């Protein structure tokens, strides 16, 4: 794609009614009229060559609507979780688009483009201070990927924040052109405490994302401009490595941020790496 192509693509996105399109997609994807739902699922499988045999159940007819299929579970054993206590694993299927240090409070979005850690984390300076100088990993999910998000490391939830925003595409063309993309988009910021220190997990919404959901709360959302503090269950939320954390109801991005000295990336873990949930990505100190 020429340089003009991505700029035109992003320019057109500014004109789109992001949330209206998301609402319409949500209505279609949750329609339980089989005459619509079944052909839609089968067309999606053909278009994206989805590996239905990995799903649980593996039969398209078992799903009442497209959203049920899109957020499908995987059969037991399809994604083994690295059992080593010191292993940080991929939270999703997808592709690693960026990985590296948080330098001067900035994360790399794409070549020549950076964005602020504090802004990404809902302007929470305390949370950001504990992660300055640390390591981040950006994981992109394509529409055909498995769309449940899992814990990369065991931890206890300390805070959950929903940030209203736009819903720009998060594909390569948009990340290369649009400044502060992940800070503009709707997102959920989760702060965990692990045995080795704090960990932020950020779920970023995207164009046509019907919604995002959390395992302990269900759907999350809201309008306005200010971050919304999400209530935590009375007994707290403790999750083990590999436990389901949440779901995207279309393709998007997960960003992990960990503090300095906590993480050493494994050899070969670099942008472009194809990810499978549960695969070891790094060694965690103190685990």
What stretches of 152-267 adopt beta strand conformation (E)?
155-163, 187-194, 197-204, 212-214, 218-220, 228-229, 238-239, 244-248, 253-258, 263-265
What is residue 152's DSSP assignment?
S
Q: How far apart are CA 271 and CA 100, in angstroms?
A: 9
Helix or strand holding residue 140 (H, E): strand 135-140
Alpha-helix runs per DSSP H in the chain: 4-15, 18-29, 34-48, 66-70, 117-120, 125-129, 172-177, 181-184
Q: Which two tokens stand for residue 98?
A: 């960026």
Distance of CA 57 to the CA centre of its chain: 24
DSSP string, 21-40: HHHHHHHHHT---HHHHHHH
The end-to-end CA distance of the chain, in Å, is 44
- Is residue 278 classed exposed, middle or buried when 0-12, 13-18 and 19+ CB atoms within 10 A define those classes? buried
Q: Are strands 218-220 and 148-150 parallel, antiparallel or unpaired?
A: unpaired
Q: Which residues are catalytic?
A: 93, 150, 252
Q: How far apart are CA 169 and CA 171, in angstroms?
A: 6
């Amino acid at each position: 794609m020429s340089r003009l192509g991505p700029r035109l693509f992003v320019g057109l996105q500014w004109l789109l009614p992001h949330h209206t399109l998301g609402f319409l997609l949500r209505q279609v994807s949750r329609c339980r009229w089989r005459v619509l739902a079944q052909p839609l699922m089968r067309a999606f499988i053909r278009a994206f060559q989805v590996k239905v045999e990995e799903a649980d159940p593996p039969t398209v007819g078992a799903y009442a609507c497209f959203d049920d299929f899109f957020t499908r579970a995987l059969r037991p054993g399809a994604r083994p979780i690295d059992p080593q206590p010191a292993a940080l694993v991929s939270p999703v299927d997808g592709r690693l688009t960026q990985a590296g240090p948080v330098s001067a409070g900035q994360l790399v979005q794409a070549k020549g483009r950076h964005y602020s850690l504090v802004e990404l984390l809902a302007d929470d300076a305390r949370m950001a201070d504990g992660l300055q100088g640390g390591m981040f990993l950006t994981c992109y999910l394509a529409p055909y990927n498995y769309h449940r998000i899992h814990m990369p490391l065991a931890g206890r939830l300390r805070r959950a924040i929903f940030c209203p925003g736009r819903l720009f595409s998060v594909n390569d063309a948009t990340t290369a052109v649009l400044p502060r993309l992940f800070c503009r988009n709707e997102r959920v910021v989760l702060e965990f405490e692990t045995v080795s220190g704090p960990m932020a997990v950020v779920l970023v919404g995207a164009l046509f994302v019907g919604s995002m959901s959390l395992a302990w709360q269900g759907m999350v959302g809201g309008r306005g401009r200010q971050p919304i503090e999400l209530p935590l269950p009375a007994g707290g939320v403790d999750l083990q490595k590999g436990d389901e954390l949440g779901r995207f109801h279309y393709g998007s991005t997960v960003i992990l941020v960990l503090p300095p000295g906590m993480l050493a990336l494994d050899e070969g873990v670099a942008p472009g790496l194809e990810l499978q949930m549960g695969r070891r990505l790094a060694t965690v100190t103190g685990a």
